[in-house]
């Protein structure tokens, strides 16, 4: 994969980008949320007929808008069934459910604390619960039908940074917290979690009593189920990525190496679907590491952001990756294909022709061919 | 809305699974073969495989296994389809009524899961307690087998091993126990697990073995008392106290076929190694050796057709040559899969016959017996006919040039150096390689080799090597068309009837026939005329296609019948000798008619009907036997043989010879490759009872074949079936000898006129407005053919991942991308550029594309689905215009490799009963050929309604819902079928019983045109 020379995403954000999501039906609309409360939607369909194009901005909820979040938008997610609705949560202690067409919230849920992350289950048919992770040491479940809290999952002892629903079982939820723990829940049983992910697989004697039942030796701020729901990937501020079995919570003890993580908030990681071998994408400062899911081998490091990368989303249809970070850019990462080279060459050739013809017209005019790069080829 | 109709014309032939057991009865040994969506049940009989029943399954068969639970009298069949429909089937027979009933069924699909890269594995516990399935990575699915359970329900067990290569159940275990071979970074390992049905989990198995053979890919389990496997096939033998397990290396050991193991009692047990990935079982073929120069006639065979002297005549049916053997048991001889088929006709006796094509009696046969002349038509003999041209190379693309009547084929050939000489990598004519997909042992050393990529075979394994130093003899070969890589539709005979030439891996062309029991003749007219000794049709003019007269020969006289409409009246031709018995009569070159009587050969002008030339024996002896084609005459006077050629108004004697004995029969039919003029003639002699092939014009003997016995040959005929030349000799006792006749073939040469270096692989080349359009990697490029005879790049389009397919219509270009569905481009001649008009944004991985009409486009993608897209010409916004609308979705169950415009049926100019628009043929990986066409909306809606009703009435084996089966289904999405009519279902209406038909048609809204039209349409389109 490489930074795409041919595809740009129209620049709109003026502050760090915290969250990205692709609409689950067409995988066409990319939604992004930024630190100043702005939410933007881009169209990824290329209808220009040219490989070189910029994904246009369709609409934004500007921070000046009366409906916009007051503070940083930490998470945006499309409603799983269609792109007519999306949900955003913010440090302004609210969760908003938006109508995409009017860009007006149809529901605003007040939370008692800053919201780090929220998730809707993509497969749920029997419930419409939004799991909300906030600086309260609990996971709140908001019922979309009533717009209010349905129940609370208590178990963590620190701020909950991240939640993710299982794609296999619509009632299973994983949560990660600043208390170094990751818990697996069945939301029908609010009393207790199903199990706690233990990095030592029960063999705590090696690390002393304090390490009992922790997933990481730091806050857990990234969680992601694999597409088949059989595994869970976690990321912690101990700079480790771990792989867990979802049926019994066993740590698979895959060594992914050290990956810098100092954020006190939710970081998104993603796992490729329908690729072999499966790949985990993890932000590593301003880069993105591509790691083999089952062996931990580092496959590639994507270098492109100027500042820390906060969020990324994998496009399973086209095998592309979109990422956003503190440098306020959304970057498209595409597999390297012959087409890009051919196209570059073609552009160079046509440019050369144009250049020479221009040169002959304006005699004596100093046309620097080297300066005339592809990016200006929009005339 | 698209109104598309899809129907299969030729069912899939590739074999993807087979098994043996006692399915139809305790004492019956059955072979069951799965051909993608079709299952065939055979009985293993002493004379070979006897087909019992063919069943269509609404799904691609992925697993097929026979098993016998305790208390069952015969085996049950377990089938799992590629879309995870599971079923247990039982054979039920009451007299001749054979039925397959569904004992249990269910769908075992998980909502999510990663389908395993190594495919679906299905296994059954030897004690029949559970069925085990490996469908998704990391999961093992278990279906408990409980008696009288009509619904198959499965549960998952987590499997730690990620990359499982093979799984089997072990014999003789108190609880169901599996053994698996899996791969990790360190290599491949064998491991066992016990299945706890109560807790639905794995328990630690009896043993495991790390680091088995690195290429080990198949597990064979066996009860230890039954067999001890020797190391020949096995790279690893792991012995447990209770059992023996062998890990067989597939790809490497495959070349050493027919491995044998000795069991304890010393009885011979044959084990054939099976192939995992592209393994090959190399066997030598005992089949026809064509083009063998050493012997002119080969493969002598004899059949008995009747008890009376037999006369052989050729006729054409659907542009194939057939031979009619006139005798007391008339028979039609034709060829299917390179074997001659002898099919009885429903007539008592025919002494003479000739084909007749007059206005009143089109495509008929005139048949004479002792007392009557009958005019009738013959049932379709074959639906599609297949001719195979072995290329000895792997073909990739085919094209046809009409003016040269030539095919161009691109083939892959790998030449391997053998000493200093380069030889083709392909086996010679006497060796045949079948790449096995599945193997099953029948009995007595006979093994069925099912193949997906080549012909399937029945082979015998021998203890001793045969003359060719092979332990394997091929007993029978079953033609497979698949995989069809490319095809073209040509109209060789210019009858408006297309022939499909398809390319499959090792086979050239293809077809299939439906052999019904015997061949029916429908009598249209009958005249009482005793004593007919011969009949011939005559045309008014040589160029005309329609016969207007029928010449009848009797002892001592000849009569001519005029056919006007259906009326028949006697007439006279001035130039004809009517007081002699005619030996031959027919239209010949230069608008003339020839009549050969005992006295002379007479050439008559068609225009004036007057005699223009006559040839008599120099000594005016009587002619005893004669034959003739359109420009050559041969006649025998006793043992003297004369060769004449026909010129305008002239008969010229070219040569003569004296044979050793008197001539009994003669033939000078030009064979396929010879054009109009025969280069050889065939002669049958009295006394020494021989058949001879002579070279014309000098009568140089090419071959003498002693027939033996005392019965003289009465009729001799050279003919070509499926590209193979045959010589048939009929004797006076009703038996027929047939031989393969060596052919002389010549090939044209291609000359390169220009060359262009490309950066990348050209996936597709298309002629486009006099220019050359090519898809090269991700680009679509248009090249101009300049006056300087070179290819000059005019313009390019870059917006694809890999542009695999191109189709054009007018200025429009349809591009099929590897993973991004289809795109419509327009060529702007003024600007000299390609412009993207519209694009389908669905993530379809394409395998073939076609343009149905200006606005409708057809695509086939790699999960065996079809879809149609429409261009929205009336769109008001750019956004709508730029998106192709997906209007039709359909699961075909076959992976389509190519689409071609064309039809398999004759286009009758006046016939308007088929209101179809456009006709596209498709060829698939499994060797199926089908047809896609469009209907007007009224007809479509009528058929759609009928389809809904049929789906309710016709219950499928395995109880798979029709809508489920035809739902567009990929790994990413499943959508209900729309915009397509399932022609196979519609046409199954014709096979329904009367009351079922009524059930379907009651309440059916018959629109204008009537149901009758609708009923005939599908059959017409099938051809």
Encode B975-1005 in three state secondary structure.
ECCECEEEHHHHHHHHHCCHHHHHHHHCCCC
CB B728 within 8 A of CB B333: yes
Q: Which residue has the higher pLDDT, A354 or B716?
A: B716
Q: Which residue has the higher pLDDT, B382 or B578?
A: B578
With an 8 Å Cβ cutoff, is A249 touching chain B?
no
- Among partner residues B114, B760, B841, which is closest to A28 by beta-carbon distance? B841
Q: What percent of chain B has pLDDT over 90?
A: 22
Contacts of B582 (CB under 8 A, 6+ apart): B534, B536, B551, B553, B558, B595, B596, B597
- A230 CB neighbours in chain B (<8 A) are 137-139, 158
Judged by average pLDDT, the poorest of B239-248, B954-963, B974-983 is B239-248
Q: What percent of chain B has pLDDT over 70?
A: 78
The per-residue pLDDT of chain A, averaged, comes to: 87
Stretch (H or E) spanning B879: helix B878-882
Inter-chain touch B112–A49, beta carbons under 8 Å: no
- Rounded Cα–Cα distance for residues B653 and B642 (Å): 7
Tell me, what's the pLDDT at A279? Answer: 94
Cα-based angle B568, B569, B570 (whole degrees, multiple of 5): 135
Inter-chain touch B843–A228, beta carbons under 8 Å: no
Whether residue A6 is predicted with pLDDT greater than 60 in this model: the reply is: yes
CB A182 within 8 A of CB A176: yes
Q: Which residue has the higher pLDDT, A179 or B312?
A: A179
Mean pLDDT: which of B171-175, B271-275, B931-935 is highest?
B931-935
Grade residue B706 by pLDDT with cuts at 50, 70 and 90: confident
- Among partner residues B114, B798, B819, which is closest to A339 by beta-carbon distance? B798
Contacts of A314 (CB under 8 A, 6+ apart): A270, A271, A272, A273, A281, A320, A321
Q: To probe the interface with B, which of A244, A342, A350 has the most B CB atoms within 10 Å?
A: A342
The per-residue pLDDT of chain B, averaged, comes to: 77
Q: Per-residue pLDDT averaged across B534-558, rounded?
A: 83
- Rounded Cα–Cα distance for residues B586 and B669 (Å): 13
Inter-chain touch A342–B111, beta carbons under 8 Å: no
Tell me, what's the pLDDT at B501? Answer: 55
- Rounded to the nearest angstrom, the minimum Cα separation between B159 and chain A is 10
Give the torsion sign (CA, B993, B995, B999, B1001): positive
Radius of gyration of chain A (CA): 22
- Rounded to the nearest angstrom, the minimum Cα separation between A36 and chain B is 31
- B879 CB neighbours in chain A (<8 A) are 47
CB A93 within 8 A of CB A113: yes
- Rounded Cα–Cα distance for residues B799 and B802 (Å): 9
Report CA B383 to chain centroid distance, whole Å.
Answer: 10
Q: Per-residue pLDDT averaged across B874-881, rounded?
A: 83
Whether residue A377 is predicted with pLDDT greater than 50 in this model: the reply is: no
Judged by average pLDDT, the poorest of A127-141, B211-225, B286-300, B465-479 is B286-300
- Chain A stretch 261-320, residues whose beta carbon is closer than 8 A to a beta carbon of chain B: 273-274, 276, 278, 294-295, 316-318
Inter-chain touch B841–A51, beta carbons under 8 Å: no
Grade residue B298 by pLDDT with cuts at 50, 70 and 90: low
Tell me, what's the pLDDT at B321? Answer: 76
Tell me, what's the pLDDT at B23? Answer: 94
Grade residue B630 by pLDDT with cuts at 50, 70 and 90: confident
Inter-chain touch B798–A317, beta carbons under 8 Å: no
- Rounded Cα–Cα distance for residues B503 and B16 (Å): 20
Q: Which residue has the higher pLDDT, B311 or B858?
A: B858
- Rounded Cα–Cα distance for residues B615 and B634 (Å): 11
Please give the biggest Cα pair distance in chain B.
103
The complex's ipTM works out to 0.86
Burial letters for A149-173: b for 16+ Cβ neighbours within 10 Å, e otherwise?
ebeebebbeebbbbbbbbbbebbbb
pTM recorded for the entire structure: 0.73
Tens digit of pLDDT for each residue in B156-200?
999 988 889 888 888 888 899 998 888 888 888 888 899 999 999
Give the torsion sign (CA, A165, A38, A55, B888): positive
- Rounded to the nearest angstrom, the minimum Cα separation between A73 and chain B is 30
Inter-chain touch A316–B800, beta carbons under 8 Å: no
Q: Which residues of B touch A (CB under 8 A)?
A: 111-114, 117, 136-139, 158, 162, 185, 759-760, 777-779, 796-802, 819-820, 835-836, 839, 841, 843, 878-879, 882-883, 971-972
Stretch (H or E) spanning B297: strand B297-304
- A168 CB neighbours in chain B (<8 A) are 111-112
**Given the structure tokens 């398999």, which residue do they identify?**
B904
Whether residue B429 is predicted with pLDDT greater than 60 in this model: the reply is: no
Whether residue B149 is predicted with pLDDT greater than 50 in this model: the reply is: yes
- CA nearest to A43 within chain B: B879
Q: Which residue has the higher pLDDT, A227 or B231?
A: A227
- A316 CB neighbours in chain B (<8 A) are 972
CB A192 within 8 A of CB A241: no
- Among partner residues B138, B799, B841, which is closest to A228 by beta-carbon distance? B138
Q: Is the peptide bond before A96 cis (omega within 30 degrees of 0)?
A: no
Tell me, what's the pLDDT at B384? Answer: 52
CA torsion, ordered B578, B581, B587, B588, to nearest 10 deg? -110
- Rounded Cα–Cα distance for residues B636 and B624 (Å): 6
Grade residue B79 by pLDDT with cuts at 50, 70 and 90: very high
Grade residue B466 by pLDDT with cuts at 50, 70 and 90: confident
Q: Which of A190, A238, A191 is nearest to A214 (CA)?
A: A238
Inter-chain touch A346–B843, beta carbons under 8 Å: no
Judged by average pLDDT, the poorest of B332-336, B913-917, B985-989 is B913-917
Whether residue A37 is predicted with pLDDT greater than 90 in this model: the reply is: yes
Tell me, what's the pLDDT at A18? Answer: 95
- Rounded Cα–Cα distance for residues B136 and B382 (Å): 44
**Given the structure tokens 């249990």, which residue do they identify?**
B104
Grade residue B338 by pLDDT with cuts at 50, 70 and 90: low
Tell me, what's the pLDDT at B172? Answer: 80
Q: Is the peptide bond before B697 cis (omega within 30 degrees of 0)?
A: yes
Mean pLDDT: which of B224-228, B636-640, B824-828 is highest?
B824-828
Judged by average pLDDT, the poorest of A254-268, A325-339, B520-534 is B520-534
- Rounded Cα–Cα distance for residues A230 and A246 (Å): 6
Q: To probe the interface with A, which of B799, B819, B820, B880 has the most A CB atoms within 10 Å?
A: B799
- Among partner residues A47, A294, A343, which is closest to B162 by beta-carbon distance? A294
Contacts of B98 (CB under 8 A, 6+ apart): B24, B52, B53, B91, B92
The order of strands in the sheet holding B822-828 is B803-809, B812-817, B822-828, B833-839
Whether residue B685 is predicted with pLDDT greater than 70 in this model: the reply is: yes
Tell me, what's the pLDDT at B252? Answer: 25
Q: Is B211 exposed, middle or buried (0-12, 13-18, 19+ CB in 10 A)?
A: exposed
Contacts of B830 (CB under 8 A, 6+ apart): none
- A272 CB neighbours in chain B (<8 A) are none
- CA nearest to B834 within chain A: A49
Q: Per-residue pLDDT averaged across B127-132, rounded?
A: 93
- Rounded to the nearest angstrom, the minimum Cα separation between B819 and chain A is 8
Whether residue A83 is predicted with pLDDT greater than 70 in this model: the reply is: yes
Inter-chain touch A339–B759, beta carbons under 8 Å: no
- Rounded to the nearest angstrom, the minimum Cα separation between B214 and chain A is 20
- Among partner residues B760, B799, B882, which is closest to A338 by beta-carbon distance? B760
Tens digit of pLDDT for each residue in B490-517?
765 444 445 555 544 333 333 333 323 3
Inter-chain touch B778–A338, beta carbons under 8 Å: yes
Inter-chain touch A48–B836, beta carbons under 8 Å: yes
Whether residue B386 is predicted with pLDDT greater than 70 in this model: the reply is: no
Whether residue B946 is predicted with pLDDT greater than 60 in this model: the reply is: yes
Q: To probe the interface with B, which of A338, A341, A348 has the most B CB atoms within 10 Å?
A: A338
Token pair recorded at residue B433: 């390689």
Whether residue A292 is predicted with pLDDT greater than 50 in this model: the reply is: yes
- Could you tell me how many CB contacts below 8 A there are between chain A and chain B? 79
Whether residue B1022 is predicted with pLDDT greater than 60 in this model: the reply is: no
Backbone angles phi, psi at A15, to 5 degrees: -135, 170
Tens digit of pLDDT for each residue in B883-923?
999 999 999 999 999 998 877 654 444 444 556 677 888 98
Tell me, what's the pLDDT at B525? Answer: 77
Q: Three-class SS string for chain A?
A: CEECCCEEECCCCCCCEEEEEECCCCCCEEEEEECCCCEEEEECCCCCCCCCEEECEEEEECCCCCCCCCCCEEEEEECCCCCCEEEEEECCCEEEEEECCCCEEEEEEECCCCEEEEEECCCCCCCCEEEEEECCCEEEEEECCCCEEEEEEECCCCCEEEEEECCCCCCEEEEEECCCCEEEEECCCCCCCCEECCCCCCCHHHHCHHHCCCCCCCCEEEEEECCCCCEEEEEECCCCEEEEECCCCCECCCCCCCCCCCCCCCCCCEECCCCCCCEEEEEECCEEEEEECCCCCEEEEEECCCCCEEEEEEECCCCEEEEEECCCCEEEEECCCHHHHHHHHHHHHHHHHHHHHHHHHCCCCCCCCCCCCHHHCCC
Tell me, what's the pLDDT at B905? Answer: 59
- CA nearest to A44 within chain B: B841
- A228 CB neighbours in chain B (<8 A) are 112-114, 136-138
Q: What percent of chain A has pLDDT over 70?
A: 90
- A317 CB neighbours in chain B (<8 A) are 843, 972
Whether residue B806 is predicted with pLDDT greater than 90 in this model: the reply is: yes
Tens digit of pLDDT for each residue in B13-62?
899 999 999 999 988 999 999 999 999 999 998 878 888 888 999 999 99
Tell me, what's the pLDDT at B410? Answer: 73
**Given the structure tokens 């790390």, which residue do they identify?**
B210
Q: Is the peptide bond before A277 cis (omega within 30 degrees of 0)?
A: yes
C-alpha distances in Å from residue B610, one per residue of B181, B586, B594: 87, 15, 11
- Rounded to the nearest angstrom, the minimum Cα separation between B211 and chain A is 19
Token pair recorded at residue B411: 């083939």
Q: Three-class SS string for B894-961?
A: CCEEEEEECCCCCCCCCCCCCCCEEEEEEEECCCCEEEEEECCHHHHHHHHHHHHHHHHHCCCECCCC
Inter-chain touch A245–B797, beta carbons under 8 Å: no
Q: Per-residue pLDDT averaged across B574-596, rounded?
A: 86
């Amino acid at each position: 994969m490489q930074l795409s020379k041919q595809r740009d995403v129209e620049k709109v954000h003026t502050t760090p980008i915290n969250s990205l999501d692709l609409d689950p039906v067409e995988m066409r609309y990319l939604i992004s949320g930024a630190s100043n409360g702005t939410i933007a939607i881009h169209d990824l369909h290329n209808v220009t007929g040219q490989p070189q194009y910029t994904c246009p901005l369709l609409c934004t909820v500007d921070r000046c808008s009366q409906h916009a979040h007051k503070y940083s938008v930490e998470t945006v997610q499309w409603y799983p069934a269609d792109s007519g609705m999306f949900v955003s949560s913010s440090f302004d202690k609210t969760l908003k459910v938006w109508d995409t067409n009017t860009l007006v919230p149809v529901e605003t849920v007040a939370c008692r604390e800053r919201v780090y992350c929220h998730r809707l289950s993509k497969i749920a048919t029997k419930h419409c619960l939004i799991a909300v992770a906030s600086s309260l040491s609990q996971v709140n479940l908001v019922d979309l039908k009533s717009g209010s809290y349905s129940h609370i999952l208590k178990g963590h002892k620190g701020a909950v940074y991240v939640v993710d629903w299982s794609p296999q079982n619509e009632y299973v939820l994983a949560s990660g917290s600043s208390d170094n723990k990751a818990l697996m829940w069945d939301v029908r049983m609010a009393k207790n979690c199903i199990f706690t992910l233990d990095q030592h697989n029960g063999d705590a004697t090696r690390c002393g009593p304090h390490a009992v039942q922790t997933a990481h030796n730091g806050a857990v701020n990234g969680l992601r189920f694999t597409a088949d729901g059989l595994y869970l990937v976690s990321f912690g501020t101990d700079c480790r990525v771990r792989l867990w079995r979802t049926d019994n919570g066993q740590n698979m003890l895959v060594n992914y190496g050290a990956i810098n993580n100092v954020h006190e908030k939710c970081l998104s990681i993603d796992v490729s679907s329908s690729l072999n071998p499966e790949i985990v994408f993890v932000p590593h400062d301003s880069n993105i590491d591509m790691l083999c899911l089952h062996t931990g081998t580092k496959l590639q490091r994507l270098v492109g952001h100027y500042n820390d990368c906060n969020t990324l989303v994998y496009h399973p249809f086209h095998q592309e990756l979109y990422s956003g970070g503190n440098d306020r850019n959304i970057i498209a990462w595409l597999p390297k294909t012959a087409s890009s080279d051919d196209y570059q060459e073609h552009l160079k050739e046509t440019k050369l022709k144009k250049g020479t013809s221009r040169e002959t017209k304006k005699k004596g005019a100093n046309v620097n061919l080297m300066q005339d790069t592809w990016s200006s080829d929009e005339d | 809305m698209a109104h598309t109709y899809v129907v299969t014309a030729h069912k899939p032939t590739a074999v993807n699974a087979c098994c043996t057991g006692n399915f139809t009865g305790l004492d019956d040994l059955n072979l069951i073969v799965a051909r993608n969506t079709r299952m065939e049940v055979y009985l293993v009989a002493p004379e070979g495989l006897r087909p019992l029943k063919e069943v269509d399954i609404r799904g691609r068969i992925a697993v097929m296994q026979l098993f016998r639970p305790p208390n069952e009298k015969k085996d049950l069949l377990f089938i799992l389809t590629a879309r995870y429909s599971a079923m247990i089937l039982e054979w039920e027979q009451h007299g001749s009524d054979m039925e397959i009933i569904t004992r249990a069924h269910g769908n075992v699909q998980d909502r999510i899961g990663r389908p395993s890269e190594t495919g679906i594995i299905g296994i059954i516990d030897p004690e029949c307690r559970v069925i085990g399935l490996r469908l998704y990575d990391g999961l093992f699915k278990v279906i408990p087998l409980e008696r009288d359970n009509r619904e198959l329900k499965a549960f998952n067990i987590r499997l730690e091993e990620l990359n499982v290569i093979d799984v089997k159940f072990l014999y003789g275990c108190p609880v169901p126990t599996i053994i698996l071979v899996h791969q990790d970074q360190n290599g491949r390992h064998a491991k066992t697990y016990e299945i706890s049905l109560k807790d639905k989990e794995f328990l630690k198995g009896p043993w495991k073995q790390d680091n088995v053979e690195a290429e080990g890919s198949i597990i064979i389990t066996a009860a230890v008392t039954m067999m001890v496997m020797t190391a020949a096939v096995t790279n690893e033998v792991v012995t447990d106290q209770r059992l023996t397990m062998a890990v067989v290396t597939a790809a490497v050991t495959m070349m050493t076929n027919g491995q044998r193991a000795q069991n304890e009692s010393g009885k011979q047990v044959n084990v054939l190694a099976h192939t995992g990935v592209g393994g090959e079982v190399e066997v030598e073929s005992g089949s026809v050796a064509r083009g063998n120069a050493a012997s002119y006639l080969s493969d002598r065979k004899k059949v008995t057709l009747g008890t009376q002297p037999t006369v052989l005549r050729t006729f054409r049916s659907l542009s194939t040559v057939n031979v009619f053997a006139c005798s007391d048991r008339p028979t039609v001889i034709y060829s299917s899969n390179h074997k001659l088929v002898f099919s009885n006709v429903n007539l008592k006796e025919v002494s003479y016959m000739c084909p007749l094509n007059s206005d009143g009696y089109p495509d008929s046969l005139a048949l004479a017996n002792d007392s009557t002349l009958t005019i009738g038509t013959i049932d379709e003999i074959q639906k599609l006919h297949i001719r195979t041209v072995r290329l000895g190379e792997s073909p990739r693309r085919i094209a046809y040039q009409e003016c040269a009547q030539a095919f161009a084929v691109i083939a892959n050939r790998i030449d391997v150096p053998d000493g200093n000489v380069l030889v083709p990598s392909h086996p010679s004519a006497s060796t045949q390689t079948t790449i096995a997909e599945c193997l099953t042992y029948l009995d007595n050393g006979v093994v069925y080799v099912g193949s997906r990529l080549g012909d399937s075979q029945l082979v015998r394994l021998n203890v001793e090597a045969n003359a060719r130093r092979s332990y394997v003899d091929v007993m029978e070969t079953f033609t497979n068309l698949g995989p069809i890589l490319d095809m073209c539709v040509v109209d060789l005979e210019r009858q408006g009837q297309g022939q499909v030439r398809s390319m499959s891996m090792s086979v050239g062309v293809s077809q299939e026939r439906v052999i019904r029991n015997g061949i029916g003749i429908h009598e249209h007219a009958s005249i009482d005329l005793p004593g007919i000794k011969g009949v011939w049709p005559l045309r008014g003019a040589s160029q005309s296609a329609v016969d207007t007269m029928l010449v009848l020969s009797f002892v001592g006289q000849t009569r001519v019948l005029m056919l006007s409409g259906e009326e028949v009246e006697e007439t006279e031709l001035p130039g004809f000798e009517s007081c002699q018995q005619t030996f031959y009569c027919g239209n010949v070159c230069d608008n003339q008619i020839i009549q050969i009587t005992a006295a002379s050969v007479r050439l008559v002008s068609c225009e004036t009907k007057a005699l223009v030339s006559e040839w008599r024996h120099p000594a005016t002896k009587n002619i005893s036997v004669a034959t003739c084609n359109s420009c050559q005459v041969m006649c025998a006077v006793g043992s003297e043989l004369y060769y004449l050629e026909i010129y305008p108004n002239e008969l010229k004697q070219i040569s003569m010879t004296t044979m050793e004995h008197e001539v009994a029969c003669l033939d000078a039919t030009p064979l396929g490759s010879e054009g109009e003029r025969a280069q050889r003639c065939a002669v049958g002699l009295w006394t020494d009872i021989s058949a001879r092939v002579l070279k014309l014009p000098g009568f140089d003997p090419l071959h003498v074949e002693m027939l033996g016995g005392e019965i003289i040959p009465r009729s001799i005929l050279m003919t070509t079936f499926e590209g193979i030349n045959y010589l048939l000799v009929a004797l006076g006792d009703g038996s027929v000898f047939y031989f393969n006749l060596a052919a002389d073939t010549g090939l044209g040469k291609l000359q390169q006129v220009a060359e262009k270096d490309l950066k990348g692989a050209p996936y597709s080349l298309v002629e486009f407005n006099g220019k050359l359009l090519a898809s090269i990697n991700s680009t679509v490029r248009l090249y101009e053919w300049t006056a300087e005879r070179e290819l000059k790049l005019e313009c390019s389009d870059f917006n694809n991942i890999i542009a695999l397919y191109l189709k054009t219509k007018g200025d429009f270009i349809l591009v099929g991308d590897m993973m991004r569905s289809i795109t419509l481009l327009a060529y702007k001649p003024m600007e000299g550029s390609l412009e993207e008009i519209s694009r389908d944004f669905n993530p379809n991985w394409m395998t073939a594309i076609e343009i149905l009409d200006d606005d409708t486009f057809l695509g086939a993608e790699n999960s065996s689905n079809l879809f149609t897209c429409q261009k929205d010409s009336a769109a008001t916004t750019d956004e709508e215009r730029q998106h192709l609308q997906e209007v039709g979705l359909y699961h075909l169950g076959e992976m389509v490799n190519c689409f071609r415009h064309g039809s398999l049926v004759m286009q009758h100019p006046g016939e308007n009963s088929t209101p179809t628009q456009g006709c596209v043929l498709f060829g698939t990986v499994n060797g199926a050929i089908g047809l896609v066409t469009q209907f007007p909306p009224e007809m479509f809606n009528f058929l759609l309604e009928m389809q809904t009703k049929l789906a309710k009435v016709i219950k499928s084996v395995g109880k798979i819902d029709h809508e489920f089966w035809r739902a567009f289904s990929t790994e990413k999405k499943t959508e209900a079928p729309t915009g397509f009519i399932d022609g196979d279902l519609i046409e199954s209406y014709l096979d329904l019983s009367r009351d079922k038909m009524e059930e379907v048609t009651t309440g059916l809204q018959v629109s204008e045109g009537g149901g009758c039209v609708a009923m005939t349409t599908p059959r017409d389109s099938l051809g």
